[in-house]
A and B are shown apart, each in its own frame.
Chain A
Amino acid sequence: MRYVVLLAHDPGDRAWPDEATRERFVDDHEAFERFVDEHGRRVAGAALADADLATTLRRGADGQVVVSDGPYADTVEQVGGYYEVELPDLDTAIAAARLLPRQYTLEIRPTVQVEGHRVG
């Protein structure tokens, strides 16, 4: 199965209170990555810049693209990064995601497979 793990956080939390917290954060990401490498593989991933750097495009009623400042969903928690991984099943994906830093709220979504083509 291929999954995308979305990492949501409260952007206000990004400043590190101390060096130990930052180290722990990096360690947790590395633990996740090791677990994924052991049980499947990492396909892609990135940390995203804060949502105030986001640009949103919407189609107006007239069909014209309207470009505006900010993220598409105005919520307290914002997507701060993602991983795309290949793992045997949802339980393994949950076990992996549990290792990520505790600051995150995580969403695991299977990617949709094109009919007639099975990934893996």
Chain B
Amino acid sequence: MNGRAPEDVLETVVREEWGRLTSLLLARFRRLDLVEDALGDAVEAAARRWPLDGAPDNPAGWLHTTAARRVLDRLRAEAMTHRKEPLLVVESERAAAGGVRADPGDLVEDDLLRLVLMCTHPALDPAAASALTLRLVLGVSTADIARLFLVPEPTMAARITRAKKKIVAAGIPFAVPSAEDLPERLDTVAQTAYLAFTAGYAPGSGPDVVRADLAGEAVRLVRVVLRLRPEEPVLVALLALMLLQHSRRDARADAAGSLVLLPDQDRARWHRDEIAEAVALCGSPALAGPVTMQAAAYALQARIALEHATAANAEETDWRRVVALYDALVGLTPTPSARLARAVAVAEDQGPRAGLAALEGLDDELPHSHRLPAVRAELLGRAGDVEAARAAYDLAVERCRNQAERDLLVRRREGLGRGG
């Protein structure tokens, strides 16, 4: 660590090694409640000591030793009072009891993967799992997670504590499931990461247009898991999709902080390196074979995003191909949001009336969405039906809870009939 400031060394090691340190300590002590606190204490101690003594040669080792000592101190104190806390169920215990085990020849035994699978277990509330994963795998502080998810810190702390409690009390294991169950579980890992990602990009309310920080952390999470499972289709497809959406972060808002929609974005501000990486991922052999439905859905969405990312400008977009990809996506998972997005593409390809027809039947499924009336308003406006467009904008504005999006809707409504 020669020459680097101790503060930088600490920041790097926390950023890169937090999950691995957590998983090592959990495998050894099986105490979810103590490990996180002990590691936090070790980082605090490092922040005090390293600037005075210089950063150690092995910073991760230093943190591990210090945290382990803290846990042992606590365990000793508990032994004095004869308290007995419930332990995390770990792999060895399951094996001894004849539990379901993955074929060890099939899978790399990896504590970090166990940690990820435990945090993203489908028996946890998805939002809580997503927060817990950011905390335990990436080391994002509870205060930052609360800020990113737009909830007060005590609320987020309580949510994370509840998830940790359920893991221990319900016997969610610190383990890799059987080879048969693993793909499904990795789908859930992907969903958890994507939930964190979209929470960053499509805030339900509040003033932020782009909360790229959270999205960036979600990308980092997928990279961590992908390092453990390099050819996993669902992770390859998800990373491609995320990178393509994330590459537009600097173009999604103008200087005044207002939302800028895809056709109006300054494409020079897209991150080309991320697009290039996504192109490579979309062409990966991992996506050529049979994949889970979740992986296929992410891959299709990534290919749609890729059409936009590689078009020189909005006019050059190959809408016919985009519609064909949406047809495949709707065929696979006919979710209302996929059908809504397909209708937009249909309108671009075949005109506003065709787009409006493609919206039919969605009202019952999206009774609270502001996007559906917003899309309808836009298409009615293009079709020249100004009165109906205005009514649809009114409904969209009424339903929209995001300030930046609502401002945009109001501007669009005002521009009706003025050729705008």
Chain A residues near B (Cβ < 8 Å): 1, 3, 38-40, 87-95, 108, 110, 113, 115-116, 118
B69 within 8 A of A: no
- Structural contact, B84 and A90, CB atoms closer than 8 A: no
- Structural contact, A92 and B94, CB atoms closer than 8 A: yes
Q: Tell me which residues across on chain B come within 8 A of A118, comparing CB atoms.
A: 84
Most chain-A CB neighbours within 10 Å: which of B89, B169, B171? B171
7 contacts between A and B (CB under 8 A): A88-B173, A89-B172, A90-B123, A91-B177, A94-B123, A110-B171, A116-B84
B170 within 8 A of A: yes
Known: A95-B181, A113-B86, A116-B84. A90 touches B171 (CB 8 A): yes
Known: A1-B171, A110-B169, A118-B84. A92 touches B99 (CB 8 A): yes
Rounded to whole Å, the gap between the CB of A110 and the closest CB of chain B is: 5
Q: Tell me which residues across on chain A come within 8 A of B173, comparing CB atoms.
A: 88-91
Known: A39-B100, A91-B100. A115 touches B84 (CB 8 A): yes
Q: Size band of the B side of the interface?
A: 20 to 34
Q: Tell me which residues across on chain A come within 8 A of B52, comparing CB atoms.
A: none
Q: Tell me which residues across on chain A come within 8 A of B256, comparing CB atoms.
A: none
Rounded to whole Å, the gap between the CB of B29 and the closest CB of chain A is: 17
Q: Tell me which residues across on chain A come within 8 A of B169, comparing CB atoms.
A: 110
Known: A110-B169, A110-B171. A89 touches B99 (CB 8 A): yes
B175 within 8 A of A: yes
- Structural contact, A40 and B97, CB atoms closer than 8 A: yes
| Whole-angstrom CA separation of A91 from B174 in the bound complex | 10
B363 within 8 A of A: no
- Structural contact, B170 and A39, CB atoms closer than 8 A: no
Interface flags for B73-113 (1: CB within 8 Å of A; 0: not) read: 00000000010101001000110011110000000000000
The A-contacting residues of B in range 106-131, CB under 8 angstroms, are: 121, 123
8 smallest CB-CB distances across A and B, nearest first, come from A88-B99, A1-B171, A89-B173, A88-B97, A88-B94, A89-B89, A89-B171, A90-B171
| Whole-angstrom CA separation of A39 from B170 in the bound complex | 17
Rounded to whole Å, the gap between the CB of B135 and the closest CB of chain A is: 21
Known: A95-B100, A95-B181. A89 touches B84 (CB 8 A): no
- Structural contact, A91 and B175, CB atoms closer than 8 A: yes
| Whole-angstrom CA separation of A88 from B169 in the bound complex | 13
| Whole-angstrom CA separation of A39 from B89 in the bound complex | 15
Q: Tell me which residues across on chain B come within 8 A of A115, comparing CB atoms.
A: 84
Residue of A nearest to B172 (CB): A90
Q: Tell me which residues across on chain B come within 8 A of A108, comparing CB atoms.
A: 170
Known: A1-B89, A115-B84. A89 touches B123 (CB 8 A): no
- Structural contact, A88 and B84, CB atoms closer than 8 A: no
The A-contacting residues of B in range 132-189, CB under 8 angstroms, are: 169-173, 175, 177-178, 181
Q: Tell me which residues across on chain A come within 8 A of B97, comparing CB atoms.
A: 39-40, 87-88
| Whole-angstrom CA separation of A85 from B89 in the bound complex | 16
Residue of B nearest to A40 (CB): B97
Residue of B nearest to A96 (CB): B100
The A-contacting residues of B in range 178-204, CB under 8 angstroms, are: 178, 181
Q: Tell me which residues across on chain A come within 8 A of B181, comparing CB atoms.
A: 91, 95
- Structural contact, B170 and A88, CB atoms closer than 8 A: no
Residue of A nearest to B117 (CB): A91
Q: Tell me which residues across on chain B come within 8 A of A90, comparing CB atoms.
A: 89, 121, 123, 170-173
- Structural contact, B98 and A38, CB atoms closer than 8 A: yes
Residue of B nearest to A41 (CB): B97
| Whole-angstrom CA separation of A88 from B97 in the bound complex | 6
